[in-house]
Structure 1
Amino acid sequence: MDDDRTARMRMSRVALLPVLVFAACTLPVAAAAWWALPVLLLPALAAAWVLRVGVDLGPGGIVPRTLLAGRTVPWEEVAGLRVGARQELYLVSTAGTETRLPVVRARDLPRLAALSGGRIPDPTA
């Protein structure tokens, strides 16, 4: 990875297809009465979640992004990764805190290692 680029790991855009079906299903409910219009916010929130949630890796560190927040963990503070019971990954800092890496699973470790530019070791190497 070049030092001036940010790599992103996100959900597949195919996940937007169920969101579109969900939006089509909410249209009759929203059209039934004016007070039901806020129901249309649910598919919009689901689409925002699919497009936003993920992990960014850059020269400044790793950024786990949720729907509303993203906190940069500098590479100097990364102690390692922990694999959870359901194959989810947690970023372990030098202070001992853990941050869940959304969307990334244990099967993604080789790709995560490659995108980190060697800062995260590849367990398959």
Structure 2
Amino acid sequence: MPTDSSDPAAQPPRSSRTPRDAAAADDSLEITYPVTFRMNRLAYFTVPMLALVVVLLIGASPWFAFAFVVPAVLWFWIHRLRTIVTEDGLRAVGFSTTEVAWSDIAGLQFPKWSSVRAVLHNGERVRLPAIGFRDLPALSIVSGGRIPDPFEAAASPDE
């Protein structure tokens, strides 16, 4: 069945982080390491909303004043979560910082309601905060092809 070229489902999705077309057009793309993947800035919107809820709680009882700590901790947590790509591997920053060399990575895992995980050759899994499925084209570019781009593979004709 032929597909309509105007159908958005028939077109491969694009990354919102890196212009893939510019990278494909320029093979001599210079990458300055380290490259940091951070949480979407829209996540910071939850901080003032939570602060508003705390203000409403304080209106009900002044004993809730201690809850003003929660929006500050949430802001710090959103600011801290990141994945840093270097020439040597990945650094996942969350509760703790985990460094993984490129040679240790066997593949990636995409749990349904969780962040991407790097699966190591020994079976261990390392969470990669702030990286989603849509970030794979950008991750493929900055990894130097060590992590393949599934969108590129789907767009290429089967031979």
Relative to the length of structure 1, the TM-score reads: 0.80
CA contact (8 A) 1:13 1:51 kept: no
1:69 maps onto 2:96 in alignment: yes
Which of 74, 77, 83 in structure 2 is aligned with 1:46? 74
Which of 74, 79, 83 in structure 1 is aligned with 2:106? 79
CA contact (8 A) 1:87 1:106 kept: no
Give the deviation of 1:58 after TM superposition. Answer: 0.9
Which of 134, 142, 145 in structure 2 is aligned with 1:115? 142
Q: Percent identity?
A: 29
> What residue is the counterpart of 1:22 in the other structure?
50
1:106 maps onto 2:141 in alignment: no
Give the unaligned 5+ runs of structure 1. Answer: none
Give the unaligned 5+ runs of structure 2. Answer: 1-29, 153-159
Which amino acid in structure 2 is aligned with residue 42 of structure 1? V
Relative to the length of structure 2, the TM-score reads: 0.65
CA contact (8 A) 1:89 1:101 kept: yes
Query: What RMSD over aligned residues (CA atoms) do the two structures have, in Å?
Result: 2.3
Q: Distance between the aligned counterparts of 1:17 and 1:106, measured in 2?
A: 22
| Greater strand share, structure number | 1
**After TM superposition, where is structure 1 displaced by more than 6 Å over at least 4 residues in a row?**
none
Which amino acid in structure 2 is aligned with residue 101 of structure 1? L
